[in-house]
Structure 1
Amino acid sequence: FKGVSSLKQYLPSKPHKWGYKLFVLSDVKGIVHNFEVYTGKIEKAEGHPDLGASSNIVLHLSDVIPAGKHHLLYFDNWFTSLQLIGELGKRDIYCLGTVRPNRLQGCPLPTDKDMKERGRGSFVVSSFASAEPVSTLKRWDKKTKKEVDVECPSMVMAYNKFMGGVDLLDSLIALYRISLRSKKYYLRLFFHFVDLATVTAWLLYRRDCDQFLVPQRSQQPLLDFKMSVAEALCKQGKSASKKRGRSSGSVDAAWEKKKKVGHASKPIPQEAVRKDEMGHWPLVSERRGRCKMPKCKGSPVVVCQKCDVHLCLDKHKNCFLTFHTK
C-alpha cells in the first residue's frame, strides 16, 4: 500500500515491506475466528495482567475461545512467553509454541552457536505436550547428500501438524485477491476484508461438504465460489417470496440432471439471481437460440435481458415465466 495512513507499518521480513498489520486467530484449516488491525499500540487485555505487546494480543484474540473446554492454541516465538501460557491455563486453554531463549527466565539452554553446529533445532514450550514419544523421520542431509534418520519429539510433530492455519488463509486470499487500486486506506482495508470473508465462507462451505460426504469433484473450487458470490451481489435485488425447500421439478434440479448426462452447455444464472424479480425483461434477438428451459427443444428469438439466455414466450408455452419462478 503506497497511500498515506497512520496505520501503515514497515515490515522488513515480509514480501511487501509496507502495509497494514493484522493479527488473526484461525483454526488449522484457515477458518478465521477473530482478528485485530494493528494501530501502533496494543493495550492490556481487559481482565488480564499486562504481559507485553506480543502476549497481550494473544489474550485479546483468545477472548472468543470459551473457557473450560480444553482448547489447544498454537503460536510462534514472537508471541510465546511463560507468563502467557500460565494466564491462558487459568481458562483451561493449553498452548504449544516455539520460544526465544531470552523469554525462558534463565533456563540453562544451549546457545545459538551450539544449535547451529548441530545443524538444526529450536526451542519449544508447551502446557500439554511433551517430548515423548520420539519418532524417527527421514531428512535430506546437504553435507552427505543423502537421507538420514532424525529424531523428532512428539511436541514438534504436533506443532508442525497444527500450526500454519493463518499462512494457509493468506495463500488462499492471495490466489484471487481483489486487485482494485486505491490510495484511500479504508478502501484497501475493505477490499481485504471482503477477500477474508469470502475465503472463510468457502472454507466453511468445504467443511460442510465434507461433513455431508459430498465428493470433492462436486465441490466448487475457490474461483467458481467467488464468481458465484460476485454474480449474486451484482445482480440480486429484492428476494422473491417462495415456498421453503426445492421441488424435484425445479429448474435447478432439471439442469443438474442435464449436466450429469453431459448435455448442458452455457450455465444458467444462480437461483437467487434468477428469482429476484428485478430487470428480467424479454427482448427480441436478431437470431434464434436453444431454449434454456430443461426438456424444452424450442429455438426462440426471445432473450432475458438480465440472464442473457433464450427462452420460449408465445401463446403455446411460457418457458420465460417458468424459468424465473421455479
Structure 2
Amino acid sequence: MAWLLDPRTRRGLPLTDDLVLSLLEDGNCSDLELDDADVEEFVPPLAENEVTASDKELGIPELIPSQLGVKRSATSLQDNAVAGPSTKRRKQVQPVIDAVKQGCNKILRTPGRFSVDEQMIPFTGKCYLRQLVKNKPRPVGLKNFVVTTSEGLMIDFEIYYGNNPVLSHPLGLGPAVVFRLIQSVPPGSCIFFDRYFTTIPLLDELKRLGYHGTGTIMVNRIPDRQQISFKEDQKMRRGDIDQRVSNGIVLVKWKDNKAVFTASNCTGGTAINNIKQYDKSAKCYIDVDAPKIVTSYNTFMGGVDVLDQSMEYYRTYMKTRKWTLKVILHFMDLAVVNAWRLYRCDSLAKGIPKNRIQDLLAFRFEIAETFMNTPDRDRLQSTPLVEIQVKQI
C-alpha cells in the first residue's frame, strides 16, 4: 500500500481514493480533517538484509558487511557523501604526508636563505591530480610546492590539488603558495622564487611581514609598465644593466643572451660582479658583468633543484597504475634524502672529515639493513566479536 507523510503530524496516511480526491481539490494534506481511525503510525519498510529486534529474539544473527554485498575496500570511517570521492582518495595517503610534515616541523630553523619552487611527483597514469609542467626533468605528475634551504634541506611543502583553501589568496595562486610556505620560515629570512610566483604586491607584503624577497618577474606583471621605460633589447649589449626603484622595490633589467627582469625588496643592481658565461662566437667562457641581485638569485635559488637531484640518484621505482602508491614511495624517498642531509650537516658541524661521512647510497643501505634486522612482530589477530559473528553464520 502507498503511504503519504503528513508534514504536520509526521505520521503516515494510507493513500486512499478519497484522500487523493481531497488533495487534488485542496492541494495541502496538513489542512485535511481526518479521523483517528483513518490514521496509522507510519512504519518505513525494511531495507534489504535488515534485521529487526524481533528477528534478534528468534536467534537470527546480524550480518557483517562482507555478507551484505559490500566490499571490504569500500568501508571507510569518513562520510564519503559529504567529502566526495576526491577527498576520500587523498585520505589514503594523508598519514604518510602528515608523518613527513611532522618530521620537517622538528627541524631547527634560523633566519637564512630559502627557496620556493615546484616539485613533481612523477606519475603518468590516470589521476585527477596530474599536472604538466614544462621544462622539468619529469614534466608529468602531481605538483608539490616545496620550500628548502639553499643547500637543499626541505622545511615544508604543500601538495596542489586544485581548490585548496590553504592556497587561496586575493593576489593569486603564486603569492598564496609563498604565504603558505613562509609560515615555516622565521622572519628576517630572504626568500627566493622564480617568475611563476613573483609579483610586486607580493614583495610589498613580504616587506611588511618582515621577509626579504627576490625573484625573476614577467614583464606583464610589472604595474604601470607603460610609464616605466627600460632600454630596448637591441640597444643593450651583453652585461648591460638598467635599474628602476620605486617605494622600496627594485626592478633590474640585465642583458645576457636574452633580457632578464628581476625584482627585489632587499637587493639592488648597483653592485657589479664578474661571472663566467659561455660565448658561442668565441667558443670559450668570458667575463660578463652581472648585478648582485642576479648573482644572489643564481646562488641561492637552486635549493629545490638540489633536493630533486638527490632524489633522482636512487629513486624507488615501481611500475603501478595507482597514484597513491607513487605518492607514498615519493615521500619515503624524500624523507630519506632529508634525513641524509641533516646527518651530513650535523657531521660537518661536529668537525667530522668528509671522507668519513656516509654518502647517500651508504646511508640508504644502512637504513635497509636496520629494517631487515628488526625483530618480526606477530600479526594482529581478529577480534572476538568478528569470530563470534563468523561462528554464528
Would the TM-score normalized by the shorter structure come out above 0.5? yes
- Give the match for residue 203 of structure 1: 341
1: distance between equivalents of 2:285 and 2:127? 50
Distance 1:17 1:141, change over 3 A: closer
- Give the match for residue 66 of structure 1: 186
Alignment of 1:174-189 (within 5 A): 174-189=312-327
Which residue identity lines up with residue 230 of structure 2 in the other structure?
L
Provide the aligned C-alpha RMSD in A: 2.4
1: distance between equivalents of 2:185 and 2:279? 41
Q: Secondary structure at the match of 2:258?
A: coil
Identify the match of residue 202 of structure 2 among 84, 91, 100: 84
Q: Secondary structure at the match of 2:259?
A: coil
TM-score (norm 1): 0.67
Q: Secondary structure at the match of 1:189?
A: helix
Q: Deviations over 1:295-326 (max 9, x none)?
A: xxxxxxxxxxxxxxxxxxxxxxxxxxxxxxxx
Alignment of 1:123-134 (within 5 A): 123-134=261-272
Which is richer in helix? 2
> How far off its partner does 1:207 sit?
0.2
2: distance between equivalents of 1:5 and 1:227? 32
Unaligned runs of 5+ in 2: 1-122, 239-254, 379-393
Which is richer in strand? 2
Identify the match of residue 53 of structure 1 among 166, 170, 173: 173
Q: Secondary structure at the match of 1:149?
A: strand
- Give the match for residue 230 of structure 2: 109
> How far off its partner does 1:64 sit?
1.1
**Partners of 1:43 and 1:56 within 8 A in 2:** no
1: distance between equivalents of 2:179 and 2:319? 34
Q: Secondary structure at the match of 1:109?
A: coil
1:40 aligns with 2:162: yes
TM-score (norm 2): 0.56
> How far off its partner does 1:16 sit?
3.1
- Give the match for residue 126 of structure 2: 4
Distance 1:55 1:100, change over 3 A: same
2: distance between equivalents of 1:89 and 1:188? 38
Unaligned runs of 5+ in 1: 239-277, 280-326
2: distance between equivalents of 1:40 and 1:113? 41
2: distance between equivalents of 1:124 and 1:204? 32
1: distance between equivalents of 2:198 and 2:236? 20
- Give the match for residue 140 of structure 2: 18
**Partners of 2:152 and 2:304 within 8 A in 1:** yes
Distance 1:186 1:114, change over 3 A: farther
**Partners of 1:101 and 1:109 within 8 A in 2:** no
> How far off its partner does 1:37 sit?
1.1
> How far off its partner does 1:110 sit?
4.4
Distance 1:137 1:116, change over 3 A: closer
Q: Which has the higher contact order (CA 8 A, sep 6+)?
A: 2
Q: Secondary structure at the match of 1:25?
A: strand
